[in-house]
Structure 1
């Protein structure tokens, strides 16, 4: 019986750093997105009552999680039946595709490059691909601020949380997490269509990210200490500001980043045509700018590496 051991965690991270997420390569998360779109078309009903939408949203969530878990378990079981080496390759591929350090760097770097080259309209367009807020009105400082926020938050959702569930449940655990997180990113919005239908997806995403978000703050502070940043200020801002955020989780990585960088994140933003006043995190010791972004990139890679080592150690000690 194949066991997803510590070297596979390290190998999955190495593959992510080398290849990232090439758009033409097969990717389970894109398939999960298509499954979610299909399930929504079948389950969603216009004109239903708020309770009806919530019940349908619960069914939608359950069907998608069960389908992803069943498919991954079936693939791994079939691969194990054929040959242990095939099971190892399938497990490694699934684990690699669950991680997003390289793709997060590539997409955020593209925004930063456009902005520093004076192509602000292109920077706004590229930023709109990785944030949910409207970007067409943002000035340069607003773009830098949004970029720092999304890198810190997606470090949690795209790297630390998948590693946490990879350590707990192997490739199956990581991919079920990706299904839960992808559903939230697609239907977990406070608008007329999804306020009730996406309620269950949003709450379950809050639940599965509760521990990883807090671990992300810890790992970021450790990474900041490794780079000689003011880690005490980083930790103090986490303790002071993390719970101000409307999300029970997003405030932790964002507050850690704000404290380490000495910038203030949060504040008003436009989402789906409505201005949302988000609480501010951190203090304006310096402006959010290209240098702050470059420090954030170092934190991204260092925190990812520390988390990978922790996940590999967990698999070595307790993995089966």
Structure 2
């Protein structure tokens, strides 16, 4: 596990420094390509009935997760046999690619810059790249709120959860997590097209993120003072509103962020031309503004660093306990 933690630390540092270069191959794109092709294939094989679509969705998820995990495992196994240093470098590189802190900040800051320029159409286009809701009718506060919510929610999905899986099982477990998470983001919708086909992927993602979401929410509360925000307010809203979402996991970091910022997030939103009524998260102590995008990114970095420190602390504690038990 020590090598996993060393690779994770190096990969985390590379992500903070460089982010994801657009010209560089990214494994999540390969997973997305696999999902798209697999969806077409399994939809053709199974009947277009509720049970048929459910079965097709199960086979798609199993296929994508299996391929996405086995290929990195085989590559690493072969490289370890050739050269351990090269294998470690490969682990670092993959860990770097599987973390999304810098890219999450970069995409959300495009929204910030557009709002700062008072260019609402540009801001709507920028936020449409990182959210699933309809953005054509959002005002400036709505655009800012959508960006803040995305950073808050993806702090768990894109940063903290991958860090936990990478620490436990290296890139292989990291790819396993990313495959499930990408499946959910592509087919895990509750609309007419994916209600049955994507149900298994959505439930699998819920199960896999159950612990990481709660850990992320608590760590975000603890990290809020390091980002210049109120830990007491973050804790209060986290405890009160962490279940205010249809998903069992999504509201934990959103609630902590809303409390730390002192704003109200979530609420009703349009998806695919249909209005969905959703509960709100947080108290409207003030209106959401474009500067909150910068603030929530600062909070995201603070909780990421705290998570890395916590992972190392747990490892050292386990080593200490083991030495004490067997002395």
Separation in structure 2 between the aligned mates of residue 60 and residue 314 of structure 1, nearest angstrom:
36
State the partner residue of 1:100: 100
What is the 5 A alignment of 1:249-260?
Answer: 249-260=249-260
Query: 2:313 aligned with 1:307, yes or no?
Result: no
Tell me whether 147-156 or 213-222 shows the greater mean CA deviation: 213-222
Aligned to 1:244, the other structure's residue is in SS state coil
TM-score (norm 1): 0.96
Quote the Cα distance in structure 2 between the aligned partners of 1:192 and 1:260.
Answer: 37
Task: Quote the offset at 1:4 in angstroms.
Answer: 2.6
The 2-side partners of 1:316 and 1:24 are apart by: 38
1:238 corresponding residue in structure 2: 238
Residues 41-87 of structure 1, C-alpha deviation per residue, up to 9 Å, x if partnerless? 11114861101111111011001111111101011001111111111
State the partner residue of 2:274: 274
Pairing 1:127-206 to 2, within 5 Å after superposition: 127-206=127-206
Give yes or no for contact 2:112–2:291 (8 Å, CA) kept in 1: no
Counterpart Cα distance in 2 of 1:6 and 1:70: 21
1:315 Cα deviation from its structure 2 partner: 5.2
For the residue of structure 1 that corresponds to 2:280, the secondary structure is strand
- What secondary structure is seen at the aligned counterpart in 2 of 1:270? strand
SS at structure 1 position matched to 2:243: helix
Give the secondary-structure state (helix, strand or coil) at the position aligned to 1:48: coil
Contact kept, 8 Å, 1:10 with 1:312, in 2: the verdict is no
Aligned position for 1:24:
23
Distance 2:123 2:311 in 1: 35
Name the counterpart of 1:216.
216
Structure 1: distance between partners of 2:15 and 2:238:
29
- How far residue 7 of structure 1 moved from its aligned partner, in angstroms, is 2.3
TM-score (norm 2): 0.94
Contact 1:6 1:313 in 2 (8 A): no
Q: Runs of 5+ in structure 2 lacking a partner? A: 320-327
Alpha-carbon displacement from aligned partner over 1:199-248 (angstroms, at most 9, x marks no partner) = 00000001111111111111111111223422111111111111121110
Following the alignment from structure 1 to structure 2, what is the Cα–Cα distance between the partners of residues 24 and 314? 37
For the 8 Å contact 1:234–1:260, the answer to whether it is kept is yes
Cα drift, residue 294 of structure 1: 2.2
Cα drift, residue 10 of structure 1: 1.2
Tell me how far 1:291 sits from its aligned partner: 2.7
Instruction: Compare relative contact order (CA 8 Å, sep 6+) and give the higher one, 1 or 2.
Output: 1
| 1:183 to partner: Cα distance | 0.4
Q: Report the Cα distance in structure 1 between the residues aligned to 2:215 and 2:36, rounded to whole angstroms.
A: 31
How many correspondences in the alignment?
318
Would you say the 8 A contact 1:9–1:312 is kept in 2? Answer: no
Structure 1 pair 5–316 and aligned structure 2 pair: CA distance change class (3 A): farther
